[in-house]
Amino acid sequence: MRRKSVLVTGGAKRVGAAISRRFGEAGWHVVIHCNTSVENAQELAAHLPSAEVVQCDLVDLDAAVDMVRKLAEKLEDWRCLINSASIFEPDDVTALDIETNRRAMRVNAASPALLAQAYFARATSRADRRVVQVTDQKLANLNPDFFSYTMSKSAADIAARMMAMVHRGSDRVYTLAPGAILPSHDQSSAEAERSHRLNLLERHTSAREVADGALFLAEGPLASGQSLFIDSGQHLLCQPRDVIYLERDGED
């Protein structure tokens, strides 16, 4: 594969799928990573100009690194890795769930760091190499909900910033922090629409906007270590709970 290429982890559904589509529209060869969503990934790949699907459970860290090794052997111009895959499961700040925490720390934090390290060690590119770590606006607008998820995203954010300190030339590392984008858990569409407007602009931020941000980081002139918030100003607020619960409690 000689076309400029990107690997999007978690690229078969939700925001990851929007990122995959955006890169495909921009002329990239898109490697869509999935775990259980193989059919979704294959259907998405079939509608992109140039795409393929790779399956891997990112809880298995050895398998994750091996996935990068195999891709590096066949992608001649692998310019970007988007760490988008994520586990978003609820547990309580007063009662950490050990299994939820184990999975979140592996998929959301350890796996992205190892993927980035393997990518920089093995991938070849005819241009700059970029890693984009998807985090969350709530790291700047902290609330106590989704305890293990937030803990793991904090670790991923710190890891990306540390890697950016040593990758500052043709290799660069960025973080991309979305706000509330799509319905989560048991939210209805109406609930999601109301909760997603709990930001400074009082507007719904779309998955397409996040995808545009990812593409900009992959192709743009930003220095390594920079962060991009796509959240209509949500991270500038001080919200005591996740917007799922703020909306249900009638708060703003």
Write the pLDDT tens digit of every residue in 127-161: 999 999 999 999 999 999 999 999 999 999 999 99
In degrees rounded to 5, what are phi and psi of residue 185? Answer: 55, -120
E strands, the chain, are 5-8, 29-34, 51-55, 78-83, 129-134, 171-178, 227-230
| Spatial CB neighbours of 246, under 8 Å, sequence gap ≥ 6 | 195, 198, 239, 240, 252
| Opening angle at CA 49, ends 45 and 55, nearest 5 | 25
Going from N- to C-terminal start, the domains of the chain cover 5-249
* Local confidence pLDDT in tens for the 252 residues of the chain: 789 999 999 999 999 999 999 999 999 999 999 999 999 999 999 999 999 999 999 999 999 999 999 999 999 999 999 999 999 999 999 999 999 999 999 999 999 999 999 999 999 999 999 999 999 999 999 999 999 999 999 999 999 999 999 999 999 999 999 999 999 878 899 999 999 999 999 999 999 999 999 999 999 999 999 999 999 999 999 999 999 999 998 865
Q: Can you identify the CATH homologous superfamily of domain 5-249?
A: NAD(P)-binding Rossmann-like Domain (3.40.50.720)
* Mean pLDDT over each residue of the chain, to the nearest integer: 96
Neighbours of 61 (CB within 10 A): 16
